[in-house]
Amino acid sequence: MLNNPMIEINDLTEDGKLYFNRRLGLVESLLPCDFETSHACDLQELPNGDLLCVWFAGSDEGNSDVSIVMSRLNAGSDAWTPATRISDDNGFSEQNPSLFLHPNGELWVMYTAQRARTANEPPEFNLQYTSKIYRKVSKDNGYTWGDAEVMFSREGSFCRQKIQVLTSGRWIFENWICFNDDTRNGSDITVMNISDDQGATWRSVEVPGSRGRVHCNVIEMSPGKLIGLFRSRAADNIYFAKSDDNGETWTEPVRTELPNNNSSISAIKLASGKLAIIYNDLRFNDKPDITVWPFERCPVTVAISEDEGRTWPYRRHVETGEGFSGHKNLIRNRRYEYPCIMQAADGSLHAAYSFGNRRTMKFISFTEQWVTGAE
């Protein structure tokens, strides 16, 4: 060991402040959060320039004290506000929020609510098969919220991605359905909820061959032409499907070249016309029909495609955790997981993800050129 005096470099603190990481060349922040665990975030830019981040927080996923929380980065501010609850139903574990700006100016938050664990019940893998999807509405940019209402009552319904508004005006809200069986969520299927009246009514379309392919990110590449990118319960690869009729029918999901570790992904179409995806860049299995739940969820990587998701030649790690990369010590990294990505009005890319074994949310900001190496 070196005996010379050294300057200690501290890690980011959870003060919500925006810092520029000179080594990586991006902006980063740890959001202030007093909850024991934090997971599954979403970002939304408001018309006034405010940026919102929502996620679920509490003692542990599946417990009755798990609620939806929100932090705000006010336009022009250099710090995120402390996380505060925007839902609180002690009978349920509330999870996986997403935000949506309605054309009428309302702000919606959609989330799942499943029956919470109780101490006197026999242990189960999880209770996601009891979940329904709820919605709350804000008419003042998220400062106050109306009462929760059931949006989709089919038990086992789960959500993650935002409602997508197509060129035709149609809305698509991707969900997946969880079942009460012994597959450890391996039997989940994807459905597309479709609305042609701005969310007043919905109907569901099942994606064929989607067993074990979930968390679909729906992207409209051209009017009526959609693609979907899926998480895989097999921890093998990210999967791809397409629709040529505004989401009425879908091809069966097939593997892409991108790996997947049975963890969530987030993908968007950029203003440049390219695709961007953020995900954990690792896989653990080559058999598509089995269910695999690795503990490892690191690194976090952004990739860019120039050919509508067929290939992904540009990739850059945004989070390498503690730096372990061998097959025997990869598990020594903490978990950095469930990322989301968006493009702001000024063209910059914002992302956030569960940081350091769900300690809090980490926010980062960069550019498309930062990913490709063009800047």
Domains and CATH numbers, the chain: 19-372 (2.120.10.10)
Q: What's this model's pTM, rounded to 2 decimal places?
A: 0.96
pLDDT for 123 equals 74
pLDDT for 9 equals 54
Q: How many helices (H) and strands (E) does the chain have?
A: 1, 26
Residue 217 has which token pair?
């990110």
pLDDT for 117 equals 87
pLDDT for 125 equals 86
How large is the C-alpha radius of gyration of the chain? 20
Task: Count CB atoms within 10 A of the CB of residue 365.
Answer: 18
Residue 239 has which token pair?
């999967």
CB 159 within 8 A of CB 98: yes
pLDDT for 263 equals 98
**CA distance to 66, 150, 156, 292, 303, per residue, from 311 (Å):** 38, 39, 33, 25, 10
* Cα(167)–Cα(223) distance, integer angstroms: 6
* Cα(103)–Cα(165) distance, integer angstroms: 10
pLDDT for 204 equals 98
pLDDT for 3 equals 46
Strand partners, 97: none
* Cα(215)–Cα(228) distance, integer angstroms: 9
CB 301 within 8 A of CB 281: yes
pLDDT in tens, the chain (375 residues): 444 444 555 678 999 999 999 999 999 999 999 999 999 999 999 999 999 999 999 999 999 999 999 999 999 999 999 999 999 888 899 999 999 999 999 999 999 999 998 877 777 889 999 999 999 999 999 999 999 999 999 999 999 999 999 999 999 999 999 999 999 999 999 999 999 999 999 999 999 999 999 999 999 999 999 999 999 999 999 999 999 999 999 999 999 999 999 999 999 999 999 999 999 999 999 999 999 999 999 999 999 999 999 999 999 999 999 999 998 999 999 999 999 999 999 999 999 999 999 999 999 999 999 999 987
